[in-house]
């Protein structure tokens, strides 16, 4: 069990709703966009301002990392605003140790940036992050000219890097994590020879690469998914949109309770691929209304089981598993084998917990099948994984006796999640 998080109980009971909700909510800023924008701002000499930024454990890890690289950082949490005075890490970074905590984006994004400078920089993190794979990124940095030392297990953090990384062409797999590619791409403009990546396996999570390219463009760098020429970042005043992965839980709540939930600030033009989770709910029978500045989901009281490939929206797979419990037939989720290497083995974990509640769930190499049923009263383990806690809590909106162990793990990306869940009441 993870240590308790300040402000959260050890166990949280979720009471069923007594009436269908009809609310408008705005989730916090996107973690994925916030961390990309923070890094691009840190690489843009001059002052940038990020508005609507997320303040959670993962983004605080990035704030600490860019400060460790030499950027100036000012934060106003009440206004969700960050100011960043950027640097050129090729000339100003002095080395040291960067603590990425549990943040995969922070660690995989700052490692290539740390390799731009001539100082020796160590990137490390919590035990959970040390267990996640880094081998392809380590190999790519070596191939691009960096000096890389694995100070623990091969292919794992902690990793020490020293540059300057020269850039050029490099091969790396696409099936493990798009974060490797995004991290290299954001460092690429500051590499002497630019960067061109060749994939040795099929690319997963394509929308996240498109997001990286879009955020880089906002800070003055034109890039393609797998290539970028030498160039320079420019400071920007940048607005961060609400987190689409976080929104998935709120939209799912409408589908499973027969209520209506509108997510404000997240519209059809979102940079985030996870807005497509609404499409999955629509396939299952919910009514979805899409606007430029909001999405509304209304539960119809009837949900269908579906067969769906979620490779491009894998962070919402556990959310769909919770919805699938209340469908009229089995739901098969495919294409997400790579999420076994996330905060926990998310396929095994979600199947294990659904079975704990007496439900019929089946684990596959590339995903899972959930057969509908009525959950028994259960205290769910959350594996120190924020997405396990947030998705399994949805079951408690429909059935009594659902408890969430270690609810504080939601602080990783959505500290106010359970407050927002209560607003459905």
**What are 378-412's pLDDT values in tens digits?**
999 999 999 999 999 999 999 999 999 999 999 99
R_g over Cα of the chain: 21
HSE of 308, CA atoms in CB hemisphere, 13 A: 26
Q: 7 falls in which pLDDT band (50, 70, 90)?
A: confident
pLDDT at position 4: 62
d(CA 37, CA 422): 31
pLDDT of 6 above 80: no
Taking CA atoms, 347 is separated from 8, 79, 343, 354, in Å, by 26, 37, 11, 11
Fold (topology level) of 11-28+242-422 = UDP-n-acetylglucosamine1-carboxyvinyl-transferase; Chain (3.65.10)
Quote the tokens at residue 299. 């539960």
Q: 92 falls in which pLDDT band (50, 70, 90)?
A: confident
209-267 tens-digit pLDDT: 999 999 999 999 999 999 999 999 999 999 999 999 999 999 999 999 999 999 999 99
Residue of 58, 315, 406, 420 with catalytic role = 315
d(CA 59, CA 308): 31
DSSP structure class, residue 219: T
Q: Do domains 11-28+242-422 and 31-239 have the same CATH topology?
A: yes
Size of the chain in residues: 425
Which whole number is the average pLDDT over 168-196? 97
Contact 302, 285 (CB under 8 A): yes
Cα dihedral: 240, 317, 322, 103 (round 10): -50
Q: Sketch the domain layout of the chain as residue ranges.
A: 11-28+242-422, 31-239
Which whole number is the average pLDDT over 114-133? 96
Q: 93 falls in which pLDDT band (50, 70, 90)?
A: low
Cα angle 48, 87, 77 (rounded to 5 degrees) comes to 40
Closest CA to 1 of 11, 15, 12: 11
Q: Which residue bears the tokens 């294990």? A: 352
pLDDT at position 81: 98
193-217 tens-digit pLDDT: 999 999 999 999 999 999 999 999 9
Contact 405, 5 (CB under 8 A): no
H or E element, residue 419: helix 417-422
Quote the tokens at residue 300. 């119809």
Quote the tokens at residue 389. 């806690």
Percentage with pLDDT > 90 across the chain: 96
pLDDT at position 287: 98
**Which stretches of 94-205 are DSSP H helices?**
104-114, 127-130, 135-143, 178-187
pLDDT at position 2: 53
pLDDT at position 331: 98
Q: Which residue bears the tokens 């059935």? A: 399
pLDDT at position 106: 98
H or E element, residue 75: strand 72-76
pLDDT of 157 above 60: yes
315-335 tens-digit pLDDT: 999 999 999 999 999 999 999
pLDDT at position 1: 46
Is cis: bond before 416, omega within 30 of 0?
no
Query: Does the annotation mark 10 as catalytic?
Result: no
Q: 141 falls in which pLDDT band (50, 70, 90)?
A: very high
- The superfamily (CATH) of domain 31-239 is Enolpyruvate transferase domain (3.65.10.10)
d(CA 140, CA 184): 9
pLDDT of 95 above 90: no
pLDDT of 14 above 50: yes
d(CA 310, CA 326): 19
313 contact partners, CB below 8 Å, separation of at least 6: 207, 273, 274, 276, 277, 280
pLDDT of 296 above 60: yes
pLDDT of 131 above 60: yes
């Amino acid at each position: 069990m993870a240590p308790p998080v300040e402000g959260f109980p050890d166990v949280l009971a979720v009471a069923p709703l007594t009436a269908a909700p009809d609310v408008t909510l705005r989730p916090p800023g996107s973690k994925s966009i916030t961390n990309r924008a923070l890094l691009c701002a840190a690489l843009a000499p001059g002052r940038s301002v990020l508005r609507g930024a997320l303040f959670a454990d993962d983004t605080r890890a990035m704030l600490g990392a860019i400060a460790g690289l030499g950027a100036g950082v000012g934060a106003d949490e009440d206004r969700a605003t960050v100011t960043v005075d950027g640097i050129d890490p090729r000339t100003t970074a002095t080395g040291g140790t960067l603590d990425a905590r549990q943040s995969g984006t922070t660690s995989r994004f700052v490692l290539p940036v740390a390799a731009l400078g001539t100082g020796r920089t160590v990137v490390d993190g919590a035990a959970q992050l040390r267990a996640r794979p880094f081998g392809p990124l380590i190999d790519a940095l070596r191939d691009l000219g960096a000096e890389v030392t694995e100070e623990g297990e091969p292919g794992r953090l902690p990793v020490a890097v020293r540059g300057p990384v020269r850039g050029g062409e490099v091969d790396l797999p696409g099936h493990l994590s798009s974060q490797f590619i995004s991290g290299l791409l954001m460092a690429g403009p500051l590499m002497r020879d630019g960067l061109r990546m060749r994939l040795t396996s099929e690319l997963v999570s394509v929308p996240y690469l498109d997001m990286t390219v879009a955020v880089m463009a906002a800070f003055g760098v034109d890039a393609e998914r797998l290539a970028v020429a030498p160039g320079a970042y420019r400071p920007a005043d940048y607005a961060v949109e609400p987190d689409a992965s976080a929104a998935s839980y709120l939209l799912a709540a409408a589908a499973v309770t027969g209520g209506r939930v509108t997510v404000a600030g997240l519209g059809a033009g979102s940079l985030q691929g996870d807005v497509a989770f609404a499409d999955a709910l629509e396939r299952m029978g919910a009514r979805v209304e899409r606007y430029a500045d909001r999405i509304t989901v209304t539960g119809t009281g009837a949900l269908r089981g579906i067969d769906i490939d979620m490779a491009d929206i894998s962070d919402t797979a556990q959310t769909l598993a919770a919805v699938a419990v209340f469908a009229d037939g089995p739901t098969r989720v495919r294409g997400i084998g790579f999420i076994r290497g996330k905060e926990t083995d998310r396929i095994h974990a979600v199947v294990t917990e659904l079975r704990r509640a007496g439900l019929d769930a089946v684990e596959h190499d590339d995903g899972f099948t959930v057969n509908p049923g009525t959950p028994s009263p259960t205290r769910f383990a959350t594996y120190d994984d924020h997405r396990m806690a947030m998705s399994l809590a949805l079951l408690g909106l429909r059935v009594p006796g659902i408890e969430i162990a270690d609810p504080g793990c939601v602080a990783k990306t959505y500290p106010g999640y359970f407050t927002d869940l209560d607003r459905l009441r």
